[in-house]
A and B are shown apart, each in its own frame.
Chain A
Amino acid sequence: MGVAIECLGLRKTYDAKVEALRGLGLQIAEGECFGLLGPNGAGKTTAIEILEGLLQPTSGDVRIFGRSWHTDAQQLRQWLGISLQETRLSDKLTVRETVDLFASFYRQPLSSADVLAALALGEKADAWVGKLSGGQRQRLAVATALVANPRILFLDEPTTGLDPQSRRQLWEIIGEFQRGGGTVLLTTHYMDEAERLCDRLAIIDYGQTIAEGTPPDLIERLGGQNVVEFSIAPANHNGLESWRDLPGVEAARADNGLVSLSVRQPHVTIPALLEAVSRQGAKLLHLTTRQASLEDVFVRLTGRHLREEA
């Protein structure tokens, strides 16, 4: 498999002050679905817009299928299908007219009717864009990207604001596109989405990659595999330190009185935890254990506690 997207040392500084990107590097293989995750303001959109050739990086290099935006922009545009965040398409055009319009820009687009059918917009084809629901608009935005018959699909938060059913529909479409040999780069806020769709992902914060890998790999490396969550009364005043010192605990965080411990071996940690609770003379109100998820990785890497330590 060839390399679809490659960037090295991407920096972007706005107004000589705000550093949105500080040396971001990514390599995305052809046929891969790659996720870009990060809290708001981490630099996701800046990164994706630089890769899309819409923004000039302050420094650094971007290659798409080995070509550069400086020399092959027109060719690259033919290869990319893009859905931007917050594009408001013309309200007074119908869905079909909008997709036809976008199709007209490409040398060899797909048939608008097929794309509309695939995105379940067939019934709305003659409705004005202004009359669509939020979810339908979002699907239309993806339709304008797909109709390009692209080699790479760039989706910036494609499912934000969608109902669960529409999200699943969109996942299907993305999966099919990928099975057809297409490469996908997406940003998302939803960890379940990233876990389910992405072959690999990068978590970025403060304009840098802070973790990269396949979802199971990231969970294994950083999530501690298992999570023990509990709450006690009266609340512990020693803070998280006492919990972090328990055997087998890799990380601890508290959220509204609910303490979460990332652990490798629950059977080692839980007896020690119970003993510590009774030693404090406190009562256990709640105790569960579950498999770690990407969410745990994300919160652990970008959450407030980590930031304070960093």
Chain B
Amino acid sequence: MSATSEKSPRPAAPHSGARQEIAWLRGGTQHNGRWSGYAHLLIARLREMQREPEVIFWVFLFPLLLAFGLGIAFRSRPASVPNVAIAAGPGADAVLQLAQRSPQSLHARIVPEAEALDGFRLGRYDLVVVPKNAGDNNLPQVEYRYDPARPESVLARAQTDDALQAAAGRTSPIPASAQASSEPGARYIDFLIPGLLGMNLMNSGMWGVGFALVDYRQRKLLKRYVATPMRRGDFLLALMTSRLVLMIPELGLLLAFGIFVFHMRVAGSWLAILLLGTLGAATFAGLGLLTASRAQKIESVSGLINLVMMPMWIFSGVFFSYERFPAVMQPLIRALPLTALNDALRATILQGAPLMAQAQAGRLLVLLAWAGLSFVLALSWFRWT
């Protein structure tokens, strides 16, 4: 860094010839270049963050823990085996025998009807089969109790019915075979990691800039800084730069985790990912700046930051696809910066979409618009004291 100060051989008293050398001023004065303030501000900010254990945890460890936890919880596995309760009574044994004879795997057991219905309500059973009197051909009649609003219940009904009918002799008129496909790239963890990247960029941008600024303001440190010849632009630039510097390990760590622990495949170029990370970090740094432009107290900015981030946690497709929300909301959801960032990251990382592809370019524009707007507004509203 060329901007740091160096000793000057020149004696003290740069201002007026009348000033004598002060006794303790043995080392004389130093000379600072144009970027000395910026460089020192940046280094100071990085040191501050590095010495804050909370930052290390929330920025680096927490996303990994989240990825690991969710990756384990939603790891790819065979579709769950339905839990079926057969209400005790005449015909129950016959139903159980049929169920066990079928090639489909079912967990079926006989329990008293009241207990079966209780368990169904609590989610222990996906389906309750209530046998009725045996029919003419000595086969039991059954009634299915299921919940049409619970996907696993609907599935259990279909599977159980199939199993029972097949075991009782129904044949399939169309011969069919099936091939399972569970490739890296289509699993939940592959969906999740880019979403976590985006969310992490949002979290650390909003907190790292917004919270830090209000903390400085509350400490009257901003006021102290503007009482010096420090260039205000340099101060904000250093804060932004510190975010970009931190973004690189943030991005790298989570991606490396996905690659090494969950064998994720990165289809797109690293440069494109880095560019997206930079744009995302800058956008959320801008939003953080805007959020913090006036707030005087840590408490009030914390509330504001959460208020800004909450909709994006929910709608921007971090943990699940936002396609689940009603169609009317889709254009609004797509206009959110985190949605644009997550979509762009997924397209690049999972599908290798080039940045200039039409859909990607649209997302980049959304991000640029948010970044530009928040910087312009923040700088005109910003209060230093």
Contacts and interface: CB of A to CB of B under 8 A. Distances in A.
A108 B227 contact: no
A189 B112 CA distance: 85
B133 interface: no
Interface in A72-103: 74, 77-80, 82, 84, 86-90, 92-93, 97, 100-103
Interface stretch (A157-165, A173-181, A285-293, A301-309): A173-181
Contacts of B150: none
Contacts of B48: 90, 92-93
A95 to B, nearest CB: 13
Contact of A82 (B14, B41, B221, B227): B227
Interface in B253-280: none
B223 interface: yes
B18 to A, nearest CB: 6
Contacts of B220: 84, 86-88
Contacts of A53: 227
Interface in B25-45: 25-32, 36-37, 39-41, 44
A104 interface: yes
B25 A110 contact: yes
A302 B220 CA distance: 30
Contacts of B18: 181
Contacts of B226: 54
Contacts of B29: 108-111, 149
Interface residues of B, number: 46
A284 interface: no
Contacts of A92: 47-48, 51-52
A105 interface: yes
B76 interface: no
Given A93-B47, A100-B40, A117-B24, A149 B32 contact: no
Nearest to B44: A101
A189 to B, nearest CB: 19
A52 interface: yes
Interface string A52-79: 1111000000000000000000100111
B44 A180 contact: no
A176 B221 contact: no
B5 interface: yes
A225 B223 CA distance: 42
Determine the main DSSP class of B at the interface with A: loop
Given A92-B51, A118-B24, A180-B20, A151 B228 contact: no
Nearest to B224: A87
B27 A177 contact: no
Nearest to A74: B229
Interface in A94-138: 97, 100-111, 113-115, 117-118, 128
B219 A87 contact: yes
A92 B47 CA distance: 8
Given A82-B224, A110-B27, A114-B25, A104 B36 contact: yes
Nearest to B27: A111
Contacts of B51: 92, 128
Given A97-B44, A104-B40, A111-B27, A181 B221 contact: no
A96 to B, nearest CB: 11
A88 B219 contact: yes
A163 B44 CA distance: 30
Interface string B1-26: 00011011000111110111111111
Contacts of A113: 27
Contacts of A115: 24
A28 interface: no
Contacts of A111: 7, 27-30
Interface of A: 52-55, 74, 77-80, 82, 84, 86-90, 92-93, 97, 100-111, 113-115, 117-118, 128, 144, 148-149, 151, 176-177, 179-182
A-B complex: 6 closest residue pairs judged by Cβ atoms: A111-B27, A181-B19, A104-B40, A180-B22, A77-B229, A88-B219
Given A82-B224, A149-B29, 19 more contacts: A77-B227, A77-B229, A80-B227, A87-B224, A90-B44, A92-B48, A104-B4, A105-B230, A107-B229, A109-B30, A109-B32, A110-B12, A111-B7, A113-B27, A114-B24, A114-B26, A180-B20, A180-B21, A181-B13
13 contacts: A78-B229, A88-B221, A103-B5, A103-B30, A104-B4, A104-B32, A106-B32, A111-B27, A111-B30, A114-B24, A180-B13, A181-B13, A181-B18
